Structure 1
Amino acid sequence: METPPVLSGRELQAAEQIFGTRLGLAERYVGHLATSGIERGLLGPREVPRLWSRHVLNCAVIESCIPQAATVADVGSGAGLPGLCLAIARPDLSLTLIEPLERRCIWLQEVVDDLGLDNVTVWRGRAEAAVGLTDFSVVTARAVSALDKLARLTLPLLQGNGELVAIKGRSAQDEIENAQKVLKKLRAVETEILSCGDELLEEPTTVVRVTVRR
């Protein structure tokens, strides 16, 4: 069984600023990732030393892009990245973790129950089937697919009004250019690249935010 990495230095400062009094919950979540998350194949064992830097903090900093009291759909939630990170950092948010694989949903529900997160619903199914499930104002995604395909999966969940906040890498600008036709068809009014966590993380998180309006 893997031992969860210990926070220190800059990571500890970042975690304290992002999670505040709920840092203990974040640490318990990382404990789940490092143990049952690895055992059940949600993450590879090589990821354990960088669970905080590459995964949890990398995801949690996008909370700065999400409005107060938003209703959020996290598509392809997997190990709860970024959905559970946001639920811990922002108890004002209402999150639905959308995940098609049963074994991942079981794990997510176990973690939600253990952490006592009353602002999270785990929903098993594909994103296409979740349209109309609730009046989502924000959709999040990480490592799901290129932006053109991701837009087709996620923007319909907003039902014409809201924002997609997608964690991306260095290819963000290329993905935006390749997705122009799809974004226009889906009534995107603005697409921008944001950098989150510049003052907190050694490697800030790159986000593509797509806004749709009726």
Structure 2
Amino acid sequence: MSKGQPAGYNRAEELRRGLAALGQELPELAQERLLTYLDLLARWNRVHNLTAVRDPEAMVAYHLLDSLAGRPWLPEGPLVDLGTGAGLPGLVLAIAEPDRPVTLVDSAAKRTRFLHQVVGALGLERVEVFQARMEAWRPAEPVEVVTARALTSMPELVELAAPLLTPTGRLVAWKGVWPEAGAEGVAVEAVHPVTVPGIDGARHIVVARPGV
């Protein structure tokens, strides 16, 4: 049991139940890596304040399950996660899909140092980490999907994602309440309401095609 974890609470079982509720399956190795990621995050949080959510039960829901909730709508191919913070959702998705090339971009040095440690500790060979301003950073080649969670408004996300994507690429955004103020002019392809175990608030996965 991890430090700070309430007696009788089983994170591994909570994760398994959450995955089942989302209609997803992950190999045991991926599940173990996700929990190791939470352990590392909890350790760094005590010093560096990477995330606001620190309760062990809430971390499974808000960090792991919420990030995984968008998987069904991710196009295949290389993925860039903008403003990834502590790796949400990009690092969680990389653990779940280890064959997918994933690039994590954040401007804060303490966050990218943490991400480098997790990538090394878990042996995530297809993950790259860049410390850079989102407005200025560009991939070596355009990618098929850009993700962002709780980052900024949809119009701003579309503007940030457009230069990074192939002509057929998609922006997949994790949102709370939808429709969002100011998003009327965005070329939204689909909006998927999702129910995330352990999260009471509204959650939506919004897919847009900035190239349209």
Normalising by structure 2, what TM-score? Answer: 0.83
Q: Which amino acid aligns with 1:7?
A: R
Q: Which runs of 5+ in 1 are unaligned?
A: none
Counterpart CA distance in 2 for 1:36 and 1:202 is 23
Alignment of 1:40-55 (within 5 A): 40-44=48-52, 46-55=54-63
Counterpart CA distance in 1 for 2:72 and 2:174 is 13
Q: Which residue does 2:183 correspond to in 1?
A: 179
Are the structure 2 counterparts of residues 45 and 145 from structure 1 closer, same or farther at C-alpha, using a change threshold of 3 Å?
closer
1:7 to 4, 11, 15: 11
Q: Which residue does 2:205 correspond to in 1?
A: 207
Q: Which residue does 2:141 correspond to in 1?
A: 134
Note the aligned Cα RMSD (angstroms): 2.5
Q: 3-state DSSP class of the match of 1:173?
A: coil
CA shift, 1:92, in A, is 2.5
Per mean C-alpha deviation after superposition, the further-off stretch among 80-89 and 2-11 is: 2-11
Q: Which residue does 1:78 correspond to in 2?
A: 85
Alignment of 1:147-158 (within 5 A): 147-158=154-165
Q: Which residue does 2:34 correspond to in 1?
A: 26
CA shift, 1:123, in A, is 0.8
Q: Which runs of 5+ in 2 are unaligned?
A: none
Q: 3-state DSSP class of the match of 1:209?
A: strand
Q: 3-state DSSP class of the match of 2:179?
A: helix
Do the aligned partners of 2:11 and 2:57 also contact (CA within 8 Å) in 1? no
Q: 3-state DSSP class of the match of 1:167?
A: strand
Per mean C-alpha deviation after superposition, the further-off stretch among 133-142 and 31-40 is: 31-40
Are the structure 2 counterparts of residues 48 and 201 from structure 1 closer, same or farther at C-alpha, using a change threshold of 3 Å?
closer
Normalising by structure 1, what TM-score? Answer: 0.83
